[in-house]
Chain A
Amino acid sequence: MRRRDVLAWLGAAAASTLPARAQSPAMPVIGYLAPESPVPFESRLKAFREGLADVGYVEGRNVAIEYRWADGRYDRLPSLAADLAGRNVSVLVASGGAPSAVAAKAATKTITIVFEMGGDPVALGVVDSLSRPAGNITGVSSLSVEVSRKRLEFMHELRPTASSFGVAVNPTSPTSGSQVRNLQMAAEALGVQLHVMNASTEGEFEAMFLSATQAQAGGLVFTSDPYFAFRSTKLADLCLRYSMPAVTQSRDFPAAGGLMSYGGDFIQSHRRAGNYAGRVLNGEKPSSLPVQLVTKVELVVNLKTAKALSITIPPSLISGADMVIE
């Protein structure tokens, strides 16, 4: 009888500790906000997880990650960000461009936000200082937005005889205005005309290529925008179909058969974002984590596509390329 009593008592004790254990999660939770779907984000996530691992966090072992995917519908980002903020995550990672960062910043003033974007966070009003970000937000910026003009320069170098170039702009992007201004200044310096075309949905892509071809543009320069970056395959197909040389920010583009890309190394930026997320989990404050600028900008050229388009890549471009796909 006594043994049965003890067993019953033990069972009761175990039962009473179970909910307590469930309530005190030793694992912190990262809220991960991304504008796209998991598949195109795979390489970015890998880099992000490596950055976390550098600080000692491994998903599923000592940290949990709550993902929110906007699947390309950037207007859903604010509600997704609000959802993550409502779940009171330990740190909110706003990845894949300025729209995520802007949505996250609007969603919470208390949870620390780590952004990963291509634009200038000070110019976008996301942070007030690079070295000492005030408030609850810090992160990593690649230089993709700043180097839009270099894309025009490369295209001009590729087609020195062309007098006009098409520029693809996503008008919903918070950086579109400054990029177009930058490009206009560069066009003046280079003495070329710009044919600015807007596209904010996939459906508008085809019309854009058509318009560029009709305007006899020497090439198509894509402004830095995640929406374009994550649709590299589709854009590469269109380039080949319309025989239109084009340059985008993402190396995914030449890898998918596009001609060229010039932009910040997203592997590096995502990895550093992971590193910062881990350091925030360790208790560091955004004010002691300066905004990092990814210094590495890479030029990738696909020679196969150049051949298909019957374009000769000048030696100056080849020698300056970080990666040449043959």
Chain B
Amino acid sequence: MADQATAPVADPIAISIRSLLANGSTKAALDRAKQHHKEHPSAGSRALLLDVYLERIQALQRQDLATEAQSLMDLVKERFPEGRDRFLALQSRLQLRRGSLDESLGLLVKPGVTPEELAFVNTLIGTEVHDLALIANSEALPTNHPLRVAATVLDRALRTVVSGNGAGIDLALPEISWRSPLAAWKYLIRAIAAFYQGDAETCRQQLDSIPAGAPPARAVAPLRHLLDSKHRSQLSPAARRLVDEVLPPRELATEALRRLDRAFASGKDKQILSAIREATDLVRRYAPDRLDTVKHHIAADAYLAGLDPEPVVQAMGGASVRNAARARLLARVTENSDDPYEILTACTHWHEFIDKAAEEGWFSKKSIEAAQVYLHTAVIAGRVPPEFKYLVDRAPATERERYLPDFLYRKAVELDPSPDTFRPWLDWARRQRGRTGEIVAENWIRARPSDLEPHLYLVDRCAEREAYPSALKHLANAEKIDSMHAETRAMRARLLINGALRQLQQKRPHLVEQRIRELEELPEMRQGDRTALIDALAILAHTALGKHDLTTAAWNRIDATLNGRIASLLLITGMGRQAKLPFTHKMPDAGDLAPEISAQLPLSLARVDQLAHFARLHRMHYPISYLQQLPKLLPRHSKDLTAEQLEALGRIGTGTKWNDVTYAVSTVGLDRSPNEVPRFLLLRAAATRFQHDRARVCASAAHHLAVKLRDNVTAGRALDLLGGPPEKFTDEIVSEILRRERTSRTFSEFSSGPNYDDILDVPDFDYYGPDGEDEDENMFDEFIDARPPGMSADVARVLAEAAVHAASEGVPMEDFVRGLVESIGAPPRGPGKRRGNRRGGRR
């Protein structure tokens, strides 16, 4: 049924009237058309007037003025009988809007109904009937009419599934064929039923089957939203109302939190604050028991997003409760940062955690639990680089201690004087300058005199600084505690070897013979290749004493032990360097070695380094040509090497900083058994340390695997290399990292190797930041904010730029800051809250 105008009118008035219609001014158009027909009546003007009337009726329909539209319709039907065919569609829609379909449905049973009329009714039903009851209850159709039967079945099914009583309903709905104008309703009913049954997949499939123009398609968007709450803003008001009613109250709050997550991800402050307001409001209404937890997490995320706390607190409708859970969360989100300021902030939060936890009865302030928190805080505080210690100095004197690792470790051992607490303190102390380690070991001995570890540390430390009498004194104490302990006995052997080398250095070779006899008595020196160490000492001593026959005998023994001259020469040369002797043998160049000797080179180097490692020989020398040869030899000649020997080669690589050696060792090591993989993945991290992200990924993955295998040594080394907590990976991600590293078999200084941006979730670099701010412009804000009183911002900026320049020139920041403070003459200020730019740093 055509609605369109039929009168071909081309005069200017008709054009202006049609222009008014096109602009939606139907009332003005009708007035003009009436006037025009009155003044110049013609068939054209009548046809035009009819067109305008019909447009006006439709406009009234659209404005929900059904009564007015019907009155006008009745008038036009009376005055324009020639337009009867064109009234049908309009009249049907008008009736539909007024809740009746009888006139249209009556056509279906009218004798002599035309195909056009039938097609029109089918189209009307298929595209515009939104309520099946209009058909099901229509008296225009007999009760057994197929359309009425179908509508009745569908209407009952729809009401049943939406009311939740549809457990026994037959969703096959065989009464409705796929060709029926009501077919789309069948899919909608099945979709709603599947949704309430929690079968999202079937629900989606049924929704996909609904044709776009059918009335049930209007329910597709809200149903999709209910399945996966996205695009809520695109829903019609009725669809939003439906979604809000169908979703359970907690789910509404969850959905608001989901929107808040997205707002944080967008980095737009206004959007975040608005989403905070909405989410906290819904949580307060529907999940009040979780309000504090939600506020804690919002506060943590807002901190990471660099938002000012005040508007966040306002948006939340009040600050979050300062309890232990809050302090713990804030400590956790700040402690993993590399930013020294945030590390210190984390220390503050952990202190607050102890206070609050004690108040809330979680544990006492003087408990082992509190000791563990101090220990953890000490480890975190230990990550502040020395050049940023001035931040600690700026803190008020009463608070300064909480940032000092030494104080925190002391506090921990005071509350829990166990080896588990002393050990991390000693581990930290041995990395400090001066006698810090020895002081900690002495503290440990005072608290726990019968623990062996601090005594052995003192032996090692004294031997390292060549204080042999002190070392022997500590060794005697260690032997009193446990003379049979493998490490005590190894320590004695080391002391004897290094003592003998010291005597050689002091040109007292005759005394070495006594040491050799003592060494020969030790069972440890008979293990593995260790007799080679005694023979090497004998060669050095007998050469100095001119006892050539003894020297020759020792050479024969050492060659036999180490299976060749190359390893013997490497060991003797290294020990000679340790003793600072002019004794040097020319090592053959790797290129001059016979192929069978060259093939032995990896094994020889590994055995020598294992001996050097045992004896703590720090001045070993490995010819460059050997190091150059190693990466080429390893792929072919590594299968006979034990994991420990491979590790020794890795040590040579890291010790000499020959990255291609380290890399080659890690390559063959990664093909070893799963138990051995973590240490070689860690070695890969060491080989690629100049590729920061890759090294971090490898070390974190090595830590993950080592922890799973209970390989505490490798796990501890991984943490040392990382200098902080590892990245948290799943087993699948670690497998992927291993796969990428295994396929990256050759080392190149110029290649960055596998890309881990996807694993580290590295955001795209955005020079101007999410707010369009220039990062370079902002990077000095912190310096400017903290400038001494009386200094202008411009002067502070110049000084800040000078600091950056000094850093780029390699001037230590500590020196620069000292010079700066001296030149300014201002007292340092305590650390205060600052607004950081942590965009994209969340999770």
A joins B in a complex: no
Hey, which bits of chain B sit against chain A, CB under 8 A?
Answer: none
Hey, which bits of chain A sit against chain B, CB under 8 A?
Answer: none
